[in-house]
Amino acid sequence: MTINEIIKEWQTKLGISHWDITTEKIDPEQVIYNGEKYFIGITIDWDNLSGVIYHDIDLDEESIIHELLHIRYSTEDEDWVNETTKQYIFSKYQY
């Protein structure tokens, strides 16, 4: 699956398929790291129902789910998003 296909799959699962989500790879020199080894983050435009996932490493399904959860559950904190991301990944790939 391509990154765009993964994004569309999870947009549908999360009920945000009407959003326009794009990705943009950025140069690591554009990022101020606070002990992190990489950067992945989303900017959200609520007026236009769009978002851009910025990243300095290759995206994977877990990262995409995480960033889309910030749209779907915008009032939840980072710990909740982290835990929910793990639950979605586990439920998709459990045997």
pLDDT tens, residue by residue, 48-94:
999 999 999 999 999 999 999 999 999 999 999 999 999 999 988 87
* C-beta separation of 53 from 21 below 8 A: yes
| Angle between the N-to-C axes of helices 61-72 and 3-14, in degrees from 0 to 180, rounded to the nearest 10 | 40
Instruction: Say if residue 44's pLDDT is above 60.
Output: yes
